[in-house]
């Protein structure tokens, strides 16, 4: 735990000045997020419709393969909405980190010529992905409303869950962006890493599958994966509790353990990611 205390101490020491600087750069951050959104939607004919179509098409494909061909048993539940709840979380996370990996290297010319807090580069990518997440959630909400019912009392939980997810993702994104400056092939490596990461996250299978048989040996691995907890969080608030037989309980306020683990991972990722990023950031201009 000594290293944890060390990192935390360091983070506390630099945080006030750095956060102040970040606050002063909020307009830059807003403009960069705006730029990301505009660029994405300007160059495609369907524009914002992609936010709707991509998750729906993916849900269609995965539902056919996993619910119809492979018959993943969900009792009286609904595979499409179960998948969608986890998939939205996964897409947000993987898109954020994968675009942030090259955030510093890709903006090398800018980093070498202008001083600004470097963290706005990965943060703007994460925030623009958060906007996509919200749009996709909004676009697919009729499915959730139809199959899983309307639960306005859960809106604060969804909002807070998103805050925790964005915090965790921002931490991981800064970490990857900083490490990629020194080791450029991290970009290649993330592709494989994220494939393995996807399957060790309960997106296409419910976590209860891992409670018996040989699968149970993999349970600790899946539980050690922080993203599992965010996916579980959104399963609980958007889908409910998946069950192999009978009725699947409807959406509910997440249990305390899920809340706690999500909050802890967000804090750890943010602290570690930000500390490492900040320590490396001073020499980015030298290395890109």
Partner 1 sequence: MGEEPQSPQGPHRSPAILVTDLHEVFRIYKERPPSLKERLYRFRRAEYTEFHALDGVNVRIDQGESVGLIGRNGSGKSTLLKCMARILPADQGRVETSGRVATLLELGAGFQQDLSGRENIYLNGSILGLSRKQIDAAFDAIVDFAGVRDFLDTAIRNYSSGMYVRLGFAIAVHVDPDILLVDEVLSVGDVAFQERSLARMRSFKERGKTVVLVSHDLGAVRSLCDRAIVLDHGRVTFDGEVEQAITFYNRLMRTRGRFTPAVATPANPSGDGRARIGELRFDVPGHDLAEPVPSGAKATLDVEVIAVDDLVGHGSLAVGVALRRPDLPSPVYETRTSWQAQYVAPPPPNASLRVRFDFEFNVLTGTYLVDVLLGNAETDEVHEHRLSALEVVVHGAQYEVGVAPLGVQMSIDNPDGVWPAPADG
Site string for partner 1, 161-180 (x = CB under 8 A): --------------------
Q: How far is the CB of 101 from partner 1 (least distance, A)?
A: 12
> Of 231, 72, 245, which is closest to residue 222 (Cα–Cα)?
231
The two tokens of residue 152 are 């306005």
Q: Which of 4, 13, 19, 39 binds partner 1 (CB under 8 A)?
A: 39
Interaction of residue 108 with partner 1, rule CB under 8 A: yes
Does residue 184 interact with partner 1 by CB under 8 A? yes
In the chain, count of helices (H) and strands (E)? 13, 0
Is residue 32 involved in binding partner 1 (CB under 8 A)?
yes
Among 16, 69, 76, 113, binds partner 1 (CB under 8 A): 113
Binding mask 2-21 for partner 1 (x = CB under 8 A): --------------------
Q: Is 218 helix (H, G, I), strand (E, B) or coil?
A: helix
Beta-carbon count within 10 A of 64 CB: 13
b (16+ CB within 10 A) / e for 147-186: bbeebeebeebbebbbebbbbbbbbbbbbbbbebbeeeeb
Q: How many amino acids of this chain bind partner 1 (CB under 8 A)?
A: 31
**Is 71 or 286 the residue whose CB approaches partner 1 more closely?**
286
Closest CA to 146 of 246, 236, 78: 78
DSSP 46: S
Site for partner 1 in 42-61 (CB under 8 A): 42-43
Burial classification of residue 219, based on how many CB atoms lie within 10 Å of its CB (0-12 exposed, 13-18 middle, 19 or more buried): middle
Closer by beta carbon to partner 1, 141 or else 191: 191
For partner 1, give the closer residue by CB, 191 or 283.
283
Which residues of the chain form contacts with partner 1 (CB under 8 A)? 27-28, 31-32, 34-35, 38-39, 42-43, 106-116, 182-186, 189, 282-283, 285-286
């Amino acid at each position: 735990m000594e290293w944890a205390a060390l990192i935390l101490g360091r983070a506390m020491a630099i945080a006030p000045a750095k956060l102040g600087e970040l606050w002063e750069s909020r307009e830059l951050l807003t403009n960069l997020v705006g730029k990301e959104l505009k660029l994405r939607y300007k160059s495609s004919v369907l524009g914002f419709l992609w936010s709707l179509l991509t998750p729906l098409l993916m849900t269609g494909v995965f539902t056919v393969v996993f619910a119809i061909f492979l018959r993943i048993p969900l009792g009286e539940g609904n595979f499409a909405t179960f998948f969608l709840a986890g998939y939205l979380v996964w897409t947000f996370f993987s898109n954020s980190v994968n675009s942030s990996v090259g955030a510093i290297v890709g903006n090398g010319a800018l980093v070498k010529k202008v001083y600004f807090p470097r963290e706005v580069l990965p943060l703007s990518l994460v925030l623009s992905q958060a906007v996509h997440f919200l749009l996709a959630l909004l676009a697919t909400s009729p499915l959730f409303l139809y199959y899983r019912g309307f639960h306005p009392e859960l809106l604060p939980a969804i909002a807070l869950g998103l805050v925790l997810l964005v915090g965790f993702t921002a931490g991981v994104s800064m970490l990857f962006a900083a490490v990629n400056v020194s080791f450029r092939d991290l970009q290649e490596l993330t592709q494989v890493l994220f494939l393995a990461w996807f399957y060790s996250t309960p997106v296409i299978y419910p976590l209860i599958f891992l409670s018996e048989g040989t699968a149970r040996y993999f349970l600790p691995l899946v539980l050690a994966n922080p993203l599992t907890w965010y996916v579980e969080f959104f399963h609980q608030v958007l889908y409910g509790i998946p069950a192999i037989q009978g009725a699947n309980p409807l959406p509910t306020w997440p249990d305390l353990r899920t809340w706690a683990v999500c909050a802890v991972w967000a804090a750890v990722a943010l602290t570690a990611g930000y500390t490492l990023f900040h320590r490396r950031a001073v020499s980015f201009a030298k290395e890109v």
